[in-house]
Protein backbone atom coordinates (compact mmCIF):
# COMPACT_ATOMS: atom_id res chain seq x y z
CA UNK A 1 0.00 0.00 0.00
CA UNK A 2 2.96 2.31 0.59
CA UNK A 3 3.75 2.16 -3.14
CA UNK A 4 0.14 2.84 -4.14
CA UNK A 5 -0.37 5.91 -1.95
CA UNK A 6 1.93 8.31 -3.88
CA UNK A 7 0.29 7.38 -7.18
CA UNK A 8 -3.21 7.85 -5.76
CA UNK A 9 -2.30 11.24 -4.31
CA UNK A 10 -0.68 12.30 -7.58
CA UNK A 11 -3.71 11.29 -9.64
CA UNK A 12 -6.10 13.06 -7.28
CA UNK A 13 -4.01 16.24 -7.43
CA UNK A 14 -3.91 16.06 -11.22
CA UNK A 15 -7.69 15.60 -11.31
CA UNK A 16 -8.34 18.57 -9.02
CA UNK A 17 -5.81 21.00 -10.45
CA UNK A 18 -6.61 20.19 -14.07
CA UNK A 19 -9.84 22.10 -13.34
CA UNK A 20 -7.79 25.11 -12.26
CA UNK A 21 -5.36 25.18 -15.15
CA UNK A 22 -5.19 28.55 -16.85
CA UNK A 23 -3.10 27.36 -19.76
CA UNK A 24 -4.48 27.39 -23.28
CA UNK A 25 -4.16 24.37 -25.53
CA UNK A 26 -1.69 25.01 -28.33
CA UNK A 27 1.32 23.51 -30.07
CA UNK A 28 3.94 23.01 -27.39
CA UNK A 29 7.49 21.68 -27.27
CA UNK A 30 8.41 20.46 -23.79
CA UNK A 31 11.68 19.27 -22.31
CA UNK A 32 11.64 16.50 -19.69
CA UNK A 33 14.95 15.92 -17.87
CA UNK A 34 15.68 13.00 -15.51
CA UNK A 35 12.07 12.85 -14.36
CA UNK A 36 11.05 10.04 -12.01
CA UNK A 37 7.33 10.82 -11.76
CA UNK A 38 5.04 7.87 -12.47
CA UNK A 39 2.40 10.14 -14.06
CA UNK A 40 2.85 13.39 -15.99
CA UNK A 41 -0.13 15.42 -17.20
CA UNK A 42 0.73 17.24 -20.43
CA UNK A 43 -2.47 18.84 -21.62
CA UNK A 44 -6.24 18.82 -21.40
CA UNK A 45 -8.27 19.24 -24.57
CA UNK A 46 -11.90 19.05 -25.63
CA UNK A 47 -12.22 17.05 -28.85
CA UNK A 48 -15.12 17.07 -31.27
CA UNK A 49 -15.94 14.21 -33.67
CA UNK A 50 -13.16 15.57 -35.95
CA UNK A 51 -10.44 15.74 -33.30
CA UNK A 52 -6.78 14.88 -33.94
CA UNK A 53 -3.76 14.41 -31.73
CA UNK A 54 -0.10 14.48 -32.70
CA UNK A 55 2.87 13.63 -30.48
CA UNK A 56 6.53 13.78 -31.48
CA UNK A 57 8.98 12.26 -29.00
CA UNK A 58 12.73 12.58 -29.55
CA UNK A 59 16.06 12.31 -27.73
CA UNK A 60 14.60 9.70 -25.38
CA UNK A 61 16.74 8.07 -22.71
CA UNK A 62 15.71 6.08 -19.63
CA UNK A 63 17.99 5.31 -16.69
CA UNK A 64 17.19 2.96 -13.83
CA UNK A 65 18.72 2.26 -10.41
CA UNK A 66 17.30 -1.26 -10.23
CA UNK A 67 17.07 -3.62 -13.18
CA UNK A 68 16.60 -3.33 -16.92
CA UNK A 69 13.86 -0.98 -18.04
CA UNK A 70 10.77 -2.49 -19.67
CA UNK A 71 9.84 -0.17 -22.62
CA UNK A 72 6.24 -1.46 -22.68
CA UNK A 73 5.71 0.09 -19.22
CA UNK A 74 6.40 3.61 -20.47
CA UNK A 75 3.97 5.36 -22.78
CA UNK A 76 1.37 7.97 -23.59
CA UNK A 77 -2.39 7.65 -23.19
CA UNK A 78 -5.62 9.68 -23.11
CA UNK A 79 -7.98 9.70 -20.16
CA UNK A 80 -11.32 11.41 -19.60
CA UNK A 81 -12.27 12.72 -16.15
CA UNK A 82 -14.77 9.90 -15.63
CA UNK A 83 -12.18 7.31 -16.61
CA UNK A 84 -9.66 8.90 -14.25
CA UNK A 85 -11.92 8.06 -11.31
CA UNK A 86 -12.13 4.45 -12.50
CA UNK A 87 -8.34 4.29 -12.77
CA UNK A 88 -8.06 5.51 -9.17
CA UNK A 89 -10.22 2.56 -8.07
CA UNK A 90 -8.06 0.12 -10.07
CA UNK A 91 -4.88 1.42 -8.44
CA UNK A 92 -6.46 0.90 -5.02
CA UNK A 93 -7.40 -2.69 -5.85
CA UNK A 94 -4.17 -3.82 -7.58
CA UNK A 95 -0.83 -3.03 -5.91
CA UNK A 96 1.30 -3.48 -9.05
CA UNK A 97 -1.21 -1.96 -11.46
CA UNK A 98 0.08 0.04 -14.45
CA UNK A 99 -2.32 2.54 -16.01
CA UNK A 100 -1.39 1.32 -19.50
CA UNK A 101 -3.14 -1.94 -18.61
CA UNK A 102 -6.42 -0.20 -17.82
CA UNK A 103 -9.39 -0.70 -20.09
CA UNK A 104 -10.45 2.89 -19.30
CA UNK A 105 -7.27 4.45 -20.72
CA UNK A 106 -6.91 4.98 -24.44
CA UNK A 107 -3.32 3.90 -25.12
CA UNK A 108 -1.54 5.90 -27.81
CA UNK A 109 1.90 4.26 -27.91
CA UNK A 110 4.60 2.84 -25.63
CA UNK A 111 8.37 3.18 -25.74
CA UNK A 112 8.50 -0.29 -27.32
CA UNK A 113 7.53 1.46 -30.57
CA UNK A 114 10.40 3.96 -30.49
CA UNK A 115 13.10 3.85 -33.15
CA UNK A 116 16.31 2.21 -31.88
CA UNK A 117 19.15 4.26 -30.31
CA UNK A 118 20.81 6.66 -30.83
CA UNK A 119 17.71 8.39 -32.23
CA UNK A 120 15.08 6.84 -29.92
CA UNK A 121 12.19 8.83 -31.32
CA UNK A 122 8.64 8.48 -32.62
CA UNK A 123 6.21 10.62 -34.57
CA UNK A 124 2.63 9.68 -33.67
CA UNK A 125 -0.61 11.02 -35.15
CA UNK A 126 -4.16 9.71 -34.86
CA UNK A 127 -7.80 10.86 -35.00
CA UNK A 128 -9.87 10.96 -31.81
CA UNK A 129 -13.06 9.19 -32.82
CA UNK A 130 -14.95 9.55 -29.52
CA UNK A 131 -15.78 13.22 -28.78
CA UNK A 132 -14.96 14.12 -25.18
CA UNK A 133 -12.55 16.10 -23.04
CA UNK A 134 -9.37 14.11 -22.58
CA UNK A 135 -6.20 14.60 -20.58
CA UNK A 136 -2.93 13.57 -22.25
CA UNK A 137 -0.77 11.64 -19.78
CA UNK A 138 2.64 10.02 -19.82
CA UNK A 139 3.21 7.14 -17.42
CA UNK A 140 6.35 5.40 -16.24
CA UNK A 141 5.58 2.15 -14.42
CA UNK A 142 9.24 1.17 -14.02
CA UNK A 143 10.22 1.80 -10.39
CA UNK A 144 13.30 3.90 -9.63
CA UNK A 145 13.71 5.01 -13.25
CA UNK A 146 14.33 8.44 -14.78
CA UNK A 147 13.13 9.66 -18.16
CA UNK A 148 14.69 12.32 -20.38
CA UNK A 149 12.98 13.35 -23.62
CA UNK A 150 11.74 16.18 -25.81
CA UNK A 151 8.00 16.11 -26.47
CA UNK A 152 6.07 18.13 -29.04
CA UNK A 153 2.27 17.97 -28.67
CA UNK A 154 -0.33 19.13 -31.16
CA UNK A 155 -4.08 18.79 -30.59
CA UNK A 156 -6.82 20.27 -32.71
CA UNK A 157 -10.31 19.87 -34.13
CA UNK A 158 -11.16 20.21 -37.80
CA UNK A 159 -13.70 22.84 -38.83
CA UNK A 160 -15.50 22.08 -42.08
CA UNK A 161 -13.19 19.02 -42.28
CA UNK A 162 -10.29 21.16 -43.51
CA UNK A 163 -9.47 24.06 -41.14
CA UNK A 164 -7.53 23.25 -37.97
CA UNK A 165 -8.90 24.76 -34.75
CA UNK A 166 -6.29 24.54 -31.99
CA UNK A 167 -8.64 25.72 -29.25
CA UNK A 168 -10.59 23.07 -27.27
CA UNK A 169 -14.24 22.58 -28.18
CA UNK A 170 -15.39 24.61 -25.16
CA UNK A 171 -13.08 27.57 -25.84
CA UNK A 172 -13.35 28.09 -29.59
CA UNK A 173 -15.89 30.90 -28.98
CA UNK A 174 -13.51 32.87 -26.72
CA UNK A 175 -11.97 35.18 -29.37
CA UNK A 176 -15.43 36.51 -30.27
CA UNK A 177 -16.53 36.62 -26.62
CA UNK A 178 -13.49 38.61 -25.45
CA UNK A 179 -13.80 40.97 -28.44
CA UNK A 180 -17.41 41.81 -27.54
CA UNK A 181 -16.57 42.47 -23.88
CA UNK A 182 -13.56 44.55 -24.92
CA UNK A 183 -15.84 46.76 -27.03
CA UNK A 184 -18.31 47.02 -24.12
CA UNK A 185 -15.53 48.17 -21.77
CA UNK A 186 -14.23 50.73 -24.30
CA UNK A 187 -17.77 52.12 -24.65
CA UNK A 188 -18.08 52.26 -20.86
CA UNK A 189 -14.71 54.06 -20.69
CA UNK A 190 -15.93 56.64 -23.20
CA UNK A 191 -19.07 57.24 -21.16
CA UNK A 192 -17.00 57.58 -17.96
CA UNK A 193 -14.70 60.16 -19.59
CA UNK A 194 -17.77 62.08 -20.78
CA UNK A 195 -19.27 61.99 -17.25
CA UNK A 196 -16.01 63.25 -15.71
CA UNK A 197 -15.75 66.04 -18.30
CA UNK A 198 -19.37 67.04 -17.72
CA UNK A 199 -18.77 67.28 -13.94
CA UNK A 200 -15.22 68.66 -13.91
CA UNK A 201 -15.70 70.49 -10.59
CA UNK A 202 -16.59 67.24 -8.79
CA UNK A 203 -13.81 65.07 -10.25
CA UNK A 204 -11.32 63.66 -7.72
CA UNK A 205 -8.05 61.82 -8.19
CA UNK A 206 -9.77 58.50 -7.60
CA UNK A 207 -11.87 59.05 -10.74
CA UNK A 208 -8.69 59.12 -12.88
CA UNK A 209 -7.59 55.84 -11.31
CA UNK A 210 -11.00 54.36 -12.09
CA UNK A 211 -10.64 55.48 -15.72
CA UNK A 212 -7.21 53.82 -15.83
CA UNK A 213 -8.73 50.62 -14.46
CA UNK A 214 -11.36 50.60 -17.23
CA UNK A 215 -8.70 51.22 -19.89
CA UNK A 216 -6.54 48.36 -18.62
CA UNK A 217 -9.56 46.04 -18.50
CA UNK A 218 -10.51 46.86 -22.09
CA UNK A 219 -6.92 46.42 -23.35
CA UNK A 220 -6.57 43.18 -21.37
CA UNK A 221 -9.68 41.76 -23.06
CA UNK A 222 -8.52 42.96 -26.48
CA UNK A 223 -5.18 41.18 -26.05
CA UNK A 224 -6.96 38.08 -24.71
CA UNK A 225 -9.12 38.03 -27.86
CA UNK A 226 -6.06 38.33 -30.13
CA UNK A 227 -4.16 35.74 -28.08
CA UNK A 228 -6.99 33.21 -28.37
CA UNK A 229 -7.51 34.03 -32.06
CA UNK A 230 -3.91 33.26 -33.00
CA UNK A 231 -3.90 30.12 -30.86
CA UNK A 232 -7.12 29.04 -32.57
CA UNK A 233 -5.73 29.59 -36.07
CA UNK A 234 -2.03 28.75 -35.75
CA UNK A 235 -1.55 26.97 -32.42
CA UNK A 236 0.76 29.71 -31.06
CA UNK A 237 -0.09 33.14 -29.58
CA UNK A 238 2.43 35.13 -31.69
CA UNK A 239 3.48 37.29 -28.73
CA UNK A 240 -0.02 38.41 -27.78
CA UNK A 241 0.27 36.40 -24.57
CA UNK A 242 3.02 38.79 -23.40
CA UNK A 243 0.73 41.81 -23.81
CA UNK A 244 -2.12 39.86 -22.22
CA UNK A 245 -0.10 39.12 -19.08
CA UNK A 246 1.20 42.71 -18.94
CA UNK A 247 -2.25 44.31 -19.04
CA UNK A 248 -3.65 41.62 -16.74
CA UNK A 249 -1.01 42.45 -14.15
CA UNK A 250 -1.70 46.20 -14.31
CA UNK A 251 -5.47 45.64 -14.29
CA UNK A 252 -5.50 43.36 -11.24
CA UNK A 253 -3.20 45.64 -9.24
CA UNK A 254 -5.35 48.65 -10.18
CA UNK A 255 -8.57 46.80 -9.32
CA UNK A 256 -7.48 45.91 -5.80
CA UNK A 257 -5.96 49.38 -5.31
CA UNK A 258 -9.16 51.14 -6.41
CA UNK A 259 -11.32 48.95 -4.16
CA UNK A 260 -9.05 49.71 -1.19
CA UNK A 261 -8.94 53.46 -1.91
CA UNK A 262 -12.68 53.75 -2.51
CA UNK A 263 -13.31 51.65 0.59
CA UNK A 264 -11.21 54.00 2.71
CA UNK A 265 -12.92 57.08 1.33
CA UNK A 266 -9.63 58.41 -0.04
CA UNK A 267 -10.07 61.50 -2.23
CA UNK A 268 -13.79 61.63 -1.27
CA UNK A 269 -13.80 61.90 2.51
CA UNK A 270 -10.11 62.61 3.14
CA UNK A 271 -7.01 63.47 1.09
CA UNK A 272 -4.73 61.02 2.88
CA UNK A 273 -4.47 57.38 3.95
CA UNK A 274 -4.01 56.23 7.52
CA UNK A 275 -1.08 54.03 8.44
CA UNK A 276 -3.12 50.81 8.62
CA UNK A 277 -4.64 51.54 5.21
CA UNK A 278 -1.18 52.05 3.70
CA UNK A 279 -0.15 48.69 5.17
CA UNK A 280 -3.07 46.99 3.40
CA UNK A 281 -1.87 48.39 0.07
CA UNK A 282 1.74 47.41 0.87
CA UNK A 283 0.53 43.86 1.46
CA UNK A 284 -1.95 43.57 -1.41
CA UNK A 285 0.24 44.95 -4.22
CA UNK A 286 3.29 42.66 -3.64
CA UNK A 287 0.93 39.70 -3.23
CA UNK A 288 -0.66 40.55 -6.57
CA UNK A 289 2.80 40.60 -8.15
CA UNK A 290 3.36 37.09 -6.78
CA UNK A 291 -0.09 35.96 -7.94
CA UNK A 292 0.58 37.21 -11.47
CA UNK A 293 3.98 35.47 -11.57
CA UNK A 294 2.19 32.26 -10.56
CA UNK A 295 -0.45 32.88 -13.24
CA UNK A 296 2.22 33.28 -15.93
CA UNK A 297 4.04 30.12 -14.83
CA UNK A 298 0.77 28.16 -14.86
CA UNK A 299 -0.35 29.56 -18.20
CA UNK A 300 2.92 29.34 -20.12
CA UNK A 301 4.41 26.08 -18.88
CA UNK A 302 1.42 23.83 -18.28
CA UNK A 303 0.94 20.95 -15.87
CA UNK A 304 3.94 18.91 -17.07
CA UNK A 305 6.44 20.80 -14.88
CA UNK A 306 7.19 19.35 -11.44
CA UNK A 307 6.15 22.48 -9.50
CA UNK A 308 2.90 23.07 -11.40
CA UNK A 309 0.69 21.97 -8.48
CA UNK A 310 2.69 24.19 -6.11
CA UNK A 311 2.24 27.25 -8.34
CA UNK A 312 -1.51 26.56 -8.47
CA UNK A 313 -1.61 26.44 -4.68
CA UNK A 314 0.37 29.70 -4.44
CA UNK A 315 -2.00 31.41 -6.87
CA UNK A 316 -5.12 30.28 -4.98
CA UNK A 317 -3.69 31.16 -1.55
CA UNK A 318 -2.54 34.63 -2.61
CA UNK A 319 -5.87 35.35 -4.30
CA UNK A 320 -7.80 34.38 -1.15
CA UNK A 321 -5.54 36.52 1.09
CA UNK A 322 -5.94 39.55 -1.20
CA UNK A 323 -9.73 39.14 -1.35
CA UNK A 324 -9.85 39.09 2.46
CA UNK A 325 -7.44 42.02 2.84
CA UNK A 326 -9.42 44.47 0.68
CA UNK A 327 -12.52 43.97 2.84
CA UNK A 328 -10.89 45.44 5.97
CA UNK A 329 -10.62 49.09 4.77
CA UNK A 330 -14.34 49.14 3.94
CA UNK A 331 -15.18 47.80 7.41
CA UNK A 332 -12.87 50.38 9.03
CA UNK A 333 -14.58 53.19 7.11
CA UNK A 334 -18.04 52.01 8.19
CA UNK A 335 -16.97 51.78 11.84
CA UNK A 336 -15.27 55.18 11.68
CA UNK A 337 -18.38 56.79 10.19
CA UNK A 338 -20.51 55.03 12.79
CA UNK A 339 -18.44 56.53 15.62
CA UNK A 340 -18.29 59.98 14.02
CA UNK A 341 -22.06 60.09 13.61
CA UNK A 342 -22.49 60.12 17.39
CA UNK A 343 -20.59 63.39 17.84
CA UNK A 344 -20.60 65.68 14.78
CA UNK A 345 -24.36 66.35 14.64
CA UNK A 346 -24.74 65.80 10.91
CA UNK A 347 -27.05 62.82 11.00
CA UNK A 348 -28.41 62.91 7.44
CA UNK A 349 -24.96 63.16 5.87
CA UNK A 350 -23.53 60.39 8.03
CA UNK A 351 -26.49 58.13 7.40
CA UNK A 352 -26.03 58.60 3.64
CA UNK A 353 -22.32 57.81 3.92
CA UNK A 354 -22.96 54.74 6.06
CA UNK A 355 -25.61 53.47 3.67
CA UNK A 356 -23.33 53.99 0.67
CA UNK A 357 -20.37 52.21 2.24
CA UNK A 358 -22.50 49.34 3.47
CA UNK A 359 -23.91 48.92 -0.05
CA UNK A 360 -20.38 49.00 -1.45
CA UNK A 361 -19.35 46.34 1.07
CA UNK A 362 -22.20 44.08 -0.09
CA UNK A 363 -21.33 44.66 -3.76
CA UNK A 364 -17.64 43.79 -3.22
CA UNK A 365 -18.51 40.64 -1.26
CA UNK A 366 -20.98 39.60 -3.97
CA UNK A 367 -18.44 40.19 -6.74
CA UNK A 368 -15.70 38.22 -4.99
CA UNK A 369 -18.07 35.38 -4.13
CA UNK A 370 -19.40 35.12 -7.69
CA UNK A 371 -16.05 35.29 -9.50
CA UNK A 372 -14.25 32.93 -7.10
CA UNK A 373 -16.92 30.37 -6.25
CA UNK A 374 -19.81 30.51 -8.70
CA UNK A 375 -17.51 30.78 -11.74
CA UNK A 376 -15.43 27.85 -10.48
CA UNK A 377 -18.62 25.83 -9.96
CA UNK A 378 -19.67 26.60 -13.54
CA UNK A 379 -16.29 25.42 -14.82
CA UNK A 380 -16.68 22.21 -12.84
CA UNK A 381 -20.25 21.26 -13.69
CA UNK A 382 -20.59 22.59 -17.26
CA UNK A 383 -20.11 20.13 -20.11
CA UNK A 384 -16.73 20.50 -21.80
CA UNK A 385 -18.37 22.02 -24.91
CA UNK A 386 -19.76 24.87 -22.79
CA UNK A 387 -16.68 25.93 -20.87
CA UNK A 388 -16.99 29.36 -22.46
CA UNK A 389 -20.11 29.95 -20.33
CA UNK A 390 -17.98 30.35 -17.19
CA UNK A 391 -15.80 32.93 -19.00
CA UNK A 392 -18.92 34.80 -20.12
CA UNK A 393 -20.30 34.72 -16.57
CA UNK A 394 -17.03 36.05 -15.14
CA UNK A 395 -16.79 38.92 -17.65
CA UNK A 396 -20.47 39.80 -17.17
CA UNK A 397 -19.98 39.89 -13.39
CA UNK A 398 -16.86 42.07 -13.75
CA UNK A 399 -18.59 44.54 -16.06
CA UNK A 400 -21.63 44.68 -13.76
CA UNK A 401 -19.38 45.25 -10.73
CA UNK A 402 -17.53 48.09 -12.46
CA UNK A 403 -20.80 49.72 -13.52
CA UNK A 404 -22.27 49.56 -10.00
CA UNK A 405 -19.08 50.78 -8.31
CA UNK A 406 -18.58 53.60 -10.81
CA UNK A 407 -22.24 54.66 -10.46
CA UNK A 408 -22.05 54.71 -6.67
CA UNK A 409 -18.91 56.88 -6.63
CA UNK A 410 -19.48 58.89 -9.80
CA UNK A 411 -18.49 62.59 -9.94
CA UNK A 412 -21.66 64.61 -9.44
CA UNK A 413 -22.20 67.99 -7.84
CA UNK A 414 -24.62 66.76 -5.18
CA UNK A 415 -23.88 63.13 -4.46
CA UNK A 416 -24.72 60.93 -1.51
CA UNK A 417 -21.79 62.32 0.53
CA UNK A 418 -23.32 65.78 0.72
CA UNK A 419 -27.03 65.07 1.09
CA UNK A 420 -28.32 67.51 3.72
CA UNK A 421 -32.08 67.55 3.96
CA UNK A 422 -33.29 69.22 7.16
CA UNK A 423 -36.65 67.50 6.94
CA UNK A 424 -34.93 64.12 7.07
CA UNK A 425 -32.44 65.07 9.81
CA UNK A 426 -34.62 63.79 12.66
CA UNK A 427 -35.35 60.49 10.90
CA UNK A 428 -31.63 60.08 10.20
CA UNK A 429 -30.78 60.63 13.86
CA UNK A 430 -33.25 57.92 14.83
CA UNK A 431 -31.74 55.52 12.30
CA UNK A 432 -28.23 56.19 13.53
CA UNK A 433 -29.27 55.59 17.15
CA UNK A 434 -30.56 52.19 16.09
CA UNK A 435 -27.78 49.80 17.08
CA UNK A 436 -28.88 47.39 14.33
CA UNK A 437 -27.33 49.66 11.72
CA UNK A 438 -24.21 47.52 11.55
CA UNK A 439 -22.63 45.11 9.10
Of 92-96, 187-191, 305-309, the range with the highest mean pLDDT is 187-191
Mean pLDDT of 379-392: 91
Mean pLDDT for the chain overall: 82
Averaging pLDDT over each range in 27-36, 51-60, 299-308, which range is the top one?
51-60
Please check the confidence at residue 16 and state whether its pLDDT lies above 60.
no
**Position 262 pLDDT exceeds 60:** yes
The residues of the chain that CATH labels 2.60.120 are: 4-165
What's residue 50's pLDDT? 93
- In 3D space, the residue among 394, 382, 397 whose CA is nearest the CA of residue 168 turns out to be 382
Does pLDDT of 103 surpass 80?
A: yes
What is 4-165's CATH topology? Jelly Rolls (2.60.120)
Kindly report which listed range (17-26, 186-195, 207-216) carries the lowest average pLDDT score.
Answer: 17-26
Which has more confidence, 161 or 236?
236
pLDDT at 20: 46
Greater confidence (273 vs 178) lies with 178
> What is the mean pLDDT of the segment spanning 394-420?
81
- Output the pLDDT for position 418: 45
- Say if residue 194's pLDDT is above 90: yes
pLDDT at position 424 over 80: no
Q: What is the pLDDT of residue 293?
A: 75
188: cis peptide before it, omega within 30°?
no
Where in the chain are all domains bearing CATH 1.20.1070.10? Answer: 174-433
Fold exhibited by the domain 174-433:
Rhopdopsin 7-helix transmembrane proteins (1.20.1070)
* pLDDT at residue 4 greater than cutoff 70: no
What whole-number percentage of the chain has pLDDT above 90?
38
Q: Which residues pair with 165 in a beta bridge?
A: 157
Amino acid sequence: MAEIAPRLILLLLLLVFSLLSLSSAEIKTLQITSDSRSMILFEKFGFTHSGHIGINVSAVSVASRLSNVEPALLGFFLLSDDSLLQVLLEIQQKPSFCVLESAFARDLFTFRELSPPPHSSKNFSAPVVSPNEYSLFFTNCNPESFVTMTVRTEMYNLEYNTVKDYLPAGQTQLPTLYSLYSVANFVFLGYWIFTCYKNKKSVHRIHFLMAGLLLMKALNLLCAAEDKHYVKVTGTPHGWDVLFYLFQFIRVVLLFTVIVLVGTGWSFLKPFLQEKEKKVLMIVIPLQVLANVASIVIGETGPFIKDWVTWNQVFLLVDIVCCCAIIFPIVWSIRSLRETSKTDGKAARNLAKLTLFRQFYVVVIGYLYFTRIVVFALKTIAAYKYQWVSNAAEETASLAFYMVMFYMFRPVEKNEYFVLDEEEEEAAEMALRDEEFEL
